[in-house]
Amino acid sequence: MGVVTAGLWAGWLGGTESGPYEVWQVAGLVLSLLVVVCWAAFRRHAVAAVAGTTAGMTVAAWCDWSDDSTGLFVIGVALVLHGSLFATALVSTLVRHVARGTRWADR
């Protein structure tokens, strides 16, 4: 999962030489990751979906942004780590509940 995620990062966000990413680039990455995470969680690989996606996003962000001479890229990488961890955990949990047919009221 980590390699797939890093590849998606490179495919969607790679090649940007200067300035911020375009909205369509980030939206494409998010939608692609959503498909991959949902597929993995549905196939009972929710832990791999969460850990692999989070690791892949974090490593890709570090590699992409580490040439920042101010050192502030570390804050961005930390935000990517926490955001991807939270988002993939939430999506994986929802997919697993839907896949099992568990209603929230049954918990």
Q: Considering its fold, how many domains does the chain have in total?
A: 1
**Domain limits for position 31:** 2-12+19-106
Separation between Cα atoms, residue 73 and residue 58, nearest integer Å: 11
Mean pLDDT throughout 4-22?
Answer: 84
Q: What is the DSSP string of 47-82?
A: HHHHHHHHHHHHHHHHHHHTT-TTSTHHHHHHHHHH
pLDDT bucket at 14, cuts 50 / 70 / 90: confident
What is the token pair recorded at 13? 């966000």
- 90 vs 21, residue with greater confidence: 90
Among 35, 37, 32, 40, smallest CA distance to 13 is for 32
Question: Whole-model pTM?
Answer: 0.85
Residue 17 is predicted with a pLDDT of 63
